[in-house]
Amino acid sequence: MPQADRRIALLQRVVRLREVEKRRAAARLAEAQGMHGKLLALEGRSAEIAATYSARRDAGTADELARTLQFTAGVQAIRGDTASEARKAGDASRAAMAHLHVAERRQKITADALSARQREDEMRRLSREPAQLARKLKRPS
């Protein structure tokens, strides 16, 4: 196998690897965005529950009021934890997006290098054909 063919084969393998890397990065991004969305929804639902229980005024005894306040405080704590996790998930989502952009750029650069190499080889092959034809015509039969 000539050196040029080996180089093209190598570039083709690298292009396939870059495509796999890009697909994996896209899958990680989708997963991160999905988790972020779920956490935001959970935070919103926790806030609704806490607001609903905070607005209640039907406690008949001090014990019922204490339990309601304790429950509301617990839901607020859960909401705070969920908000913190949602921020982390948002950061992870942005990092995954950046990784996808890098993977796309790397894949494009490699594909462009392969394309350029193939064009160069085709030009070399085409430039050799007239020379070979001229030699054949010069040879006496």
In the chain, where the domains are located: 3-138
Dihedral sign, Cα of residue 50, residue 53, residue 55, residue 61: negative
With beta carbons less than 8 A apart as the criterion, state whether 75 and 46 touch: yes
The predicted structure's pLDDT at residue 1: 54
Domain range 3-138, CATH class: mainly alpha
The predicted structure's pLDDT at residue 57: 84
Q: Please give the average per-residue pLDDT across 12-27, as a whole number.
A: 96
Q: Tell me the C-alpha to C-alpha distance, in Å, between residue 35 and each of 29, 39, 70, 89.
A: 10, 6, 29, 7
What is the pTM (predicted TM-score) of this model?
0.73
Residue-wise pLDDT tens digits, 120-139: 988 888 777 776 666 666 76
Residue-wise pLDDT tens digits, 50-80: 999 888 888 788 898 888 889 999 999 999 9
Give dist(CA 79, CA 73) in Å, integer.
10
With beta carbons less than 8 A apart as the criterion, state whether 107 and 19 touch: yes
